[in-house]
Amino acid sequence: MIATLQIDARGQGLVEFTDEVHQAITHARIMEGLCTLFVRHTSCSLLIQENADPSAKRDLERWLHRLVPERDPLYTHTAEGPDDMPAHIKAALTATSLGIPILGGRLVLGTWQGIFLWEHRHRGGRREVVVHIADSSR
């Protein structure tokens, strides 16, 4: 089964969408298999991370901003603003796809793990995440 999720990212930061992926698996009625997620953009990424303490999100966001600053004089790809090239670098350093096992009709995530879209642009927007759910029981 393949589905596309629309994730609204209002600006830079982590947007959790674990529940939407769980709904897609429930709809597919797959008890055992693999859920692959792929984001169809070059300036955002996907991440599995702690979803209980908001300070973990803030620390990750601040760390990546410090690692890849805006307005670096070496950037030449700046047509869409000072966050353009840093967004591409951040996406290259993180992940654009994730694979998560399914067992008992549920994602095999840890207690504090959630699935996040990591928006790297200031203005963000609607992002598409393709969900492919493969049934391993066949």
DSSP count for the chain of H helices, then E strands: 3, 8
pLDDT at position 88, please?
97
- Contact between 129 and 41 (Cβ < 8 Å): no
For residue 14, the domain's CATH number is 2.60.120.460
Cα–Cα distance measured from residue 10 to residue 21, given in angstroms and rounded to the nearest whole number: 20
- Mean pLDDT (the chain) is 96
**Structure confidence by residue, pLDDT tens digits, 107-130:** 999 999 999 999 999 998 999 999
Cα–Cα distance measured from residue 95 to residue 45, given in angstroms and rounded to the nearest whole number: 5
- Contact between 120 and 44 (Cβ < 8 Å): yes
Neighbours of 25 (CB within 10 A): 21
| Structural domains of the chain, count | 1
User: pTM of the full predicted structure?
Assistant: 0.94
Give the domain extent around 102. 2-135
Mapped onto helix, strand or coil, the DSSP state of residue 86 is helix
Cα–Cα distance measured from residue 89 to residue 77, given in angstroms and rounded to the nearest whole number: 11
**Structure confidence by residue, pLDDT tens digits, 81-91:** 999 999 999 99
Provide, rounded to the nearest whole percent, the portion of the chain with pLDDT above 90: 96
Cα–Cα distance measured from residue 100 to residue 105, given in angstroms and rounded to the nearest whole number: 12
